[in-house]
Amino acid sequence: MQKYSVFNLIKNAFSNHENWDLAWKDPTPKKEYDVVIIGGGGHGLATAYYLAKEHNITNVAIIEKGWIGGGNVGRNTTIIRSNYMYDDNALFSEFGMDLWRRMSQDLNYNVMFSPRGIINLAHSDAQMNVYARRGNSMRLNGIDAVLLNREQVKEIIPMADFSENVRFPIFGGLMQPSAGTARHDAVAWGYARQADSMGVDIIQNCEVTGFDVSGGKVKGIRTSRGDIKVKKIGLCVAGSTNILAEKLNMRLPIETHLLQACVSEPVKPVLDRVVTFGAGHFYISQSDKGEMVMGGDLDGYNSYSQRGNMPTLQHVLTEGIAMMPFLSKLKMLRTWGGIMDMSMDGSPIIDKTHIEGLYLNCGWCYGGFKATPASGWTFAYTIAQDRAHELNAGYNLNRFNTGHLLDEKGLGTKTWIS
Amino acid sequence: MLHIKCPHCGMRSQNEFSYGGDATVKRPKLNKEVSDQDWDNFIYNRKSLRGKHLELWQHLSGCRQWIKVERDTATHEIFKTMKANEDEL
């Protein structure tokens, strides 16, 4: 594989950049694979990469219905953080933070990881107490957390509304300085390029139409480009999880919902952090191009439409303007939506299933993008070793039966409530 | 914006309603032995497929009644609405 470096950049400049290798091939599916990963999104591509890199399993195919990186990895608001209170979530995410920090070097691909810090705003004394508790839990798990008072927040984000007579005055906030953002498409492409170079077949425009399971064991899959014999299958299809589970006669604690995001027109640098509103659900950062990147609530009813509806967008942006009034002067550039695999306790599932050779990776709710490297790493481990790593042991499917839920937000099973 | 025909009030904007989830989920019978699987299916497990979906909505800013709506989860087309105690077809 051609290394991306400044020397190769200069060298290729002499041939007008017309002789670069393709970043990944377009192979025809083989008849048989050791592992097939269904879903060529961030998690699927990362899983294939770590299967090859960490476990030396390279007879692997990624089967993608559309094109790689065309789903949620290309539709998110690029936020990376590990500001969780529960041990299972905190340790898993912090392991991921470490992979994020090394990712550009590891993949020889600039993912533009920008650890600019995230501030969760608090709007009452009670919320400050809750944040102090969460911050303490984070620090016990070795994650950086700083509780900021009103004046400290004002110093960092002076453009927020600090007037006294507003409905939700800013009391302070909880900051994770090491959190940040990354270029989401680059993450998908970087993983794809490296996985491909280690022998993984990336098969696009190939829909999985059925499974061949006999004697409680995976034998193969049926696709729009022919049948494939396979020993192990990893399901990494986010919002389409229920559609494939139906073909396997499985019912999962997952509902598919639509989440919108939007960007404003580009403006000069104004916001150098990720900020979330504490009295609702709204998050914002500024991209390198200058666009304000914003997101918030689910549309609120089961949806596969991949495009949003106005009432939710209006509601979310109302929160944004309450927090940062200058946003009302900006024009909207683009809005879009992606379909989320909302789990019934708000935490993901990375586990084996009752079918031998079938592995499940789903339930990422609002937080799939930041989990990409840790999810790929632990899912690859689970597939290769046929057991969960201690990092994803808490993300088992059985917890819904035993009651060991990971309900970080305390919302219960109404996934559409935010 | 969805327009939902409340069986009590007529056609209204989506903004007047709040969502209540899958209407086909039934609580296991009272005073009967319930298997773990049945209970999990009631509490957690959902079909949530692409296409026709029978779901509960409450006309919160209107008559406050719960209603059933049959809607396509991909196109948002609403096929029919009925009172909460009415069964489909």
Write out the H or E segment, with its range, that includes residue B41: helix B36-43
Min distance B20 CA to chain A CA atoms (Å)? 8
How many Å apart are CA A184 and CA A113, to the nearest integer? 9
Query: In angstroms, what CA-CA distances link A36 with A147, A383, A386?
Result: 45, 10, 15
- What was the pLDDT predicted at A417? 81
Cβ pairs A/B, distance under 8 A: 68
Min distance B1 CA to chain A CA atoms (Å)? 6
pLDDT in tens, A173-229: 999 999 999 999 999 999 999 999 999 999 999 999 999 999 999 999 999 999 999
pLDDT in tens, B17-72: 999 999 999 999 989 999 999 999 999 999 999 999 999 999 999 999 999 999 99
Q: Which positions ≥6 away from A268 have C-beta within 8 Å? A: A290
- Give the closest residue to A213 by CA, choosing from A224, A221, A202, A203: A221
Residue of chain A whose alpha carbon sits nearest to that of B36: A401
Question: Is A414's pLDDT higher than 90?
Answer: no
- Give the closest residue to A350 by CA, choosing from A17, A88, A81: A88
Give the sign of the dihedral formed by CA A59, CA A48, CA A259, CA A331.
negative
pLDDT in tens, A119-143: 999 999 999 999 999 999 999 999 9
Buried b (16+ CB within 10 A) or exposed e, A392-418: bebbbbebbeeeebbebeeeebebbeb
- What was the pLDDT predicted at B89? 56
Min distance A363 CA to chain B CA atoms (Å)? 12
- What was the pLDDT predicted at B88? 64
- B73 with B49: CB under 8 angstroms? yes
- A227 with A220: CB under 8 angstroms? yes
- A343 with A245: CB under 8 angstroms? no
Q: What's the whole-number average pLDDT of chain A?
A: 96
Region A23-29 average pLDDT:
96
How many Å apart are CA A236 and CA B2, to the nearest integer? 31
Region A356-381 average pLDDT:
97
Q: Tell me B75's DSSP state.
A: T
Query: In angstroms, what CA-CA distances link A205 with A4, A63, A225, A340, A360?
Result: 27, 8, 9, 21, 22
Does A9 lie at the interface with B, CB-CB under 8 angstroms? no
**Minimum-distance CB partner of A253 among B22, B44, B76:** B44
3-state secondary structure chain A: CCCCCHHHHHHHHCCCCCCCCCCCCCCCCCCEEEEEEECCCHHHHHHHHHHHHHHCCCCEEEECCCCCCCCHHHCCCCEECCCCCCHHHHHHHHHHHHHHHHHHHHHCCCCCCECCCEEEEECCHHHHHHHHHHHHHHHHCCCCCEEEEHHHHHHHCCCCCCCCCCCCCCCEEEEECCCEECCHHHHHHHHHHHHHHCCCEEECCCCEEEEEEECCEEEEEEECCEEEEEEEEEECCHHHHHHHHHHCCCCECEEEEEEEEEEECCCCCCCCCEEEECCCCEEEEECCCCCEEEEEEEEEEECCCCCCCHHHHHHHHHHHHHHCHHHHHCCEEEEEEEEEEEECCCCCEEEECCCECEEEEECCCCCCCCCHHHHHHHHHHHHHHCCCCCCCHHHCCCHHHHCCCCCCCCCCCCCCCC
Q: Which positions ≥6 away from A267 have C-beta within 8 Å? A: A286, A290, A291, A292, A330
Q: Is A21 left (phi over 0), alpha (psi -120 to 50) or beta?
A: beta
Task: Give the confidence band of A337 by pLDDT, cuts at 50, 70, 90.
Answer: very high
Residue of chain A whose alpha carbon sits nearest to that of B50: A304
Task: Give the confidence band of A84 by pLDDT, cuts at 50, 70, 90.
Answer: very high
Question: Is A117's pLDDT higher than 80?
Answer: yes
Question: What are the chain A neighbours of B14 within 8 Å (beta carbons)?
Answer: 309, 311
Region A80-94 average pLDDT:
97
How many Å apart are CA A308 and CA A302, to the nearest integer? 12
Query: In angstroms, what CA-CA distances link A188 with A68, A282, B49?
Result: 7, 25, 27
Q: Which positions ≥6 away from A186 have C-beta within 8 Å? A: A109, A110, A111, A112
Question: What are the chain B neighbours of A413 within 8 Å (beta carbons)?
Answer: 43-44
How many Å apart are CA B88 and CA B81, to the nearest integer? 9
Task: Give the confidence band of A413 by pLDDT, cuts at 50, 70, 90.
Answer: confident
**Minimum-distance CB partner of A301 among B40, B41, B55:** B55
Does A253 lie at the interface with B, CB-CB under 8 angstroms? yes
Record: contact A305-B48, CB cut-off 8 A: no
Record: contact B55-A305, CB cut-off 8 A: no
- What was the pLDDT predicted at A418? 65
Does A340 lie at the interface with B, CB-CB under 8 angstroms? no
Does A309 lie at the interface with B, CB-CB under 8 angstroms? yes
Q: Which positions ≥6 away from A140 have C-beta within 8 Å? A: none
